[in-house]
């Protein structure tokens, strides 16, 4: 279905938990206040919502978190999402810690692609950013995903004075392996407000100066907002998610579901439509859900206002929204 600005909305991001086994400094350094499991949508409820969304034209689903792989049964959910008529792709964004052990089940479930967040290749910087010593597990997750034949991308958020000196090594990850390395500009949501974004436009120039001419890559790499370039002799591509310096809202194609059943039309604003109450209080779930999802799509704002911090109304942390 189209929103009121003519954008086709075909991509639903589902946060299946707001718990996480890392404590990234720009996302949730203290961990979330745990809510009772009853507050969180059950897998059955998520599937009902996905079914209603598919009937309105959603064809692509991203499973995210918190950390999606800390919730038991995640691979089975992927399998059941893929069985919904109209759903063409189910992909996942993960911190990679539990990926290696979950890969067989995810493959079996038919996962279409996996994005792994990795901001640094240095154990001491990993510890500083995430509060954890589990860098090797993340790397093993990426390697297992690639060698298992899954389309794999790496998500990196650069921070000045922390990991911005590592961009060359991170770019090189895609030299020999067919993975896309994507640089995401920090967004002023939650703790992200404390850290200014490193400009992807400047980074592109630095990459070109170091690795030679970049060529735009128009092949389809996923369903998200990244722009891709190719470097001569590289197996994978480099992607840029320039939320601040390369605003992409005019081509937005998505809505987001939080783990507590709130449907968010836009990352930047706090407005939501409550789907959980429809599931728990109404009889004809599918009809109620369809109406509510259509309402959220219709009310989708034209663009974010990250350049004017006082206009941002989202008060949740990124861990609750799912990125």
Ligand X SMILES: C[S@@+](CC[C@H](N)C(=O)[O-])C[C@H]1O[C@@H](n2cnc3c(N)ncnc32)[C@H](O)[C@@H]1O
Q: Which is nearer to ligand SF4, 27 or 58 (CB)?
A: 27
The reply to whether 66 sits in an annotated binding site is yes
Residue 319 as a binder of ligand X (CB under 6 A): the answer is yes
- Is 205 in a helix, a strand, or coil? helix
The reply to whether 13 sits in an annotated binding site is yes
Residue 27 as a binder of ligand SF4 (CB under 6 A): the answer is yes
- Pairwise CA distance, residues 127 & 135, whole Å: 8
- Do the Cβ atoms of 222 and 153 come closer than 8 Å? yes
Strand 214-217, strand 227-231: pairing? antiparallel
Stretch in the footprint of ligand X (CB under 6 A) among 29-37, 65-73, 138-146, 219-227 = 65-73
- Pairwise CA distance, residues 176 & 160, whole Å: 27
Q: State the alpha helices, DSSP H only, in the chain.
A: 43-55, 74-82, 99-109, 123-130, 135-147, 167-176, 200-211, 276-281, 285-298, 318-321
Q: State the alpha helices, DSSP H only, in 83-158.
A: 99-109, 123-130, 135-147
Binding flags for ligand SF4, 103-122, as an x/- string (CB under 6 A):
--------------x-----
State the nearest-atom distance from the C-beta of 119 to ligand GTP, in Å: 12
The token duo for 308 is 């004017």
Residue 142 as a binder of ligand SF4 (CB under 6 A): the answer is no
Out of 10, 17, 117, 145, the only residue in the binding site for ligand X (CB under 6 A) is 117
Q: Which is nearer to ligand GTP, 98 or 243 (CB)?
A: 243
Closest CA to 23 of 99, 128, 106: 128
- Do the Cβ atoms of 14 and 64 come closer than 8 Å? yes
Out of 15, 95, 115, 258, the only residue in the binding site for ligand SF4 (CB under 6 A) is 95
The reply to whether 228 sits in an annotated binding site is no
Binding-site annotation: residue ranges for GTP: 13, 93, 153, 254-256
Binding site for ligand X (CB under 6 A): 20, 26-27, 64-67, 93-95, 117, 155, 157, 184, 186-187, 189, 192, 318-319, 322-323
Binding site for ligand SF4 (CB under 6 A): 20, 22-24, 27-28, 65-67, 95, 117, 225, 248-249, 252, 254, 266-268, 303-304, 318-319
């Amino acid at each position: 279905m189209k929103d009121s600005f003519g954008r086709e909305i075909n991509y639903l991001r589902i946060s299946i938990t707001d718990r996480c086994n890392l404590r990234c400094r720009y996302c949730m350094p203290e961990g979330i206040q745990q809510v009772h499991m009853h507050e969180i949508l059950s897998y059955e409820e998520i599937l009902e919502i996905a079914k209603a969304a598919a009937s309105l034209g959603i064809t692509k689903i991203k499973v995210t978190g918190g950390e999606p792989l800390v919730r038991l049964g995640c691979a089975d959910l992927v399998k059941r999402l893929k069985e919904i008529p109209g759903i063409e792709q189910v992909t996942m964004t993960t911190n990679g810690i539990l990926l290696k052990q979950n890969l067989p089940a995810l493959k079996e479930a038919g996962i279409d692609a996996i994005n792994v967040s990795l901001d640094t290749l240095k154990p001491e910087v990993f510890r500083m950013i995430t509060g954890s010593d589990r860098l090797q597990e993340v790397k093993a997750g990426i390697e297992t995903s690639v060698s298992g034949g899954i389309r794999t991308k790496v998500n990196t958020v650069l921070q000045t004075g922390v990991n911005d000196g590592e961009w060359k090594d991170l770019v090189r990850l895609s030299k020999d392996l067919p993975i896309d390395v994507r640089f995401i500009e920090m967004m002023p949501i939650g703790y992200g407000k404390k850290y200014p974004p490193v400009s992807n436009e400047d980074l592109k120039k630095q990459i070109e100066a170091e690795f030679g001419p970049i060529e735009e890559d128009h092949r389809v790499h996923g369903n998200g907002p990244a722009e891709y370039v190719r470097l001569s002799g590289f197996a994978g591509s480099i992607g840029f998610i320039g939320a601040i310096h390369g605003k992409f809202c005019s081509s937005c194609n998505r809505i987001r579901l939080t783990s507590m059943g709130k449907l968010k039309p836009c990352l930047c604003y706090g407005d939501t439509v409550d789907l959980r109450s429809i599931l728990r209080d109404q009889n004809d779930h599918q009809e109620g859900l369809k109406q509510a999802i259509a309402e959220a799509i219709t009310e989708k704002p034209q663009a974010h206002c990250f350049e004017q911090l006082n206009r941002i109304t989202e008060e949740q942390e990124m861990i609750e929204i799912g990125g």
